C-alpha cells in the first residue's frame, strides 16, 4: 500500500526525475505524491507501432493512459477498431490495447497521469 502524503510537493518537468527517449519522441517523468506523471512529446512522423513497439515488444500499447493533450493532433486506434483524433485541450482515457500516431506537422505533447511508469522502457 502506498504511503499517504500530508506534505505539499512541487516538481517541474524542467527538472524531470527521468527522461526516456525513443525514435521521434521522449517522455519526461516526475515522481510526486507517490505517483509517476509523464510529459510525452511526439514529433511529426512518430507512431507507437514503429517508435515504441520495438522497445515494448507487445502487439499494441499495453499502458492505460489518462492524459490531457497540450498540442498537436494524435490519431488513436483501439484494438477493438474504435478510432478518433485527439487535439489540444482534449482529455483522453485509453485502456490497454491501442496504437497512435501524430497527424500533421505539429508535435503532440500530452501529460499522462496514469500510464507512464513503464512506458518506453525496454523489456
Q: Which domain holds residue 100?
A: 18-112
Range 90-98 average pLDDT: 96
Q: Which of helix, strand or coil describes residue 65?
A: strand
In tens, the pLDDT along 63-79 reads: 999 999 999 999 999 99
Helix and strand element counts for the chain (H, E): 2, 9
Cα 18 to Cα 12, 15, 27: the distances in Å are 12, 9, 8
Residue 67 lies in a domain: yes
Which helix (H) or strand (E) is 38 found in, with range?
strand 35-42
User: Which among 42, 28, 96 has a CA at the least distance from the CA of 73?
Assistant: 42
Residue 120 lies in a domain: no
**The domain spanning residue 45 has which CATH number?**
2.60.120.10
Does the pLDDT value for residue 51 go beyond 90? yes
12 confidence band (pLDDT: 50, 70, 90): very high
Q: What is the 3-state secondary structure (H, E, C) of 11-36?
A: CCCCCCCEEEEECCEEEEEEEECCEE
Domain count across the chain: 1
Residue 74 lies in a domain: yes
Amino acid at each position: 500500500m502506498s504511503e499517504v502524503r500530508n506534505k505539499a510537493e512541487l516538481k517541474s518537468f524542467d527538472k524531470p526525475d527521468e527522461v526516456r527517449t525513443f525514435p521521434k519522441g521522449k517522455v519526461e517523468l516526475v515522481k510526486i505524491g507517490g505517483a509517476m506523471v509523464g510529459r510525452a512529446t511526439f514529433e511529426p512522423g512518430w507512431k507507437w507501432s514503429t517508435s515504441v513497439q520495438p522497445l515494448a515488444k507487445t502487439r499494441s500499447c499495453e499502458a492505460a493512459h489518462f492524459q490531457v493533450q497540450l498540442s498537436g493532433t494524435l490519431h488513436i486506434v483501439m484494438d477493438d477498431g474504435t478510432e478518433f483524433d485527439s487535439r489540444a485541450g482534449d482529455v483522453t482515457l485509453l485502456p490497454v490495447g491501442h496504437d497512435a500516431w501524430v497527424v500533421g506537422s505539429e508535435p503532440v505533447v500530452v501529460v499522462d497521469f496514469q500510464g507512464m511508469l513503464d512506458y518506453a522502457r525496454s523489456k
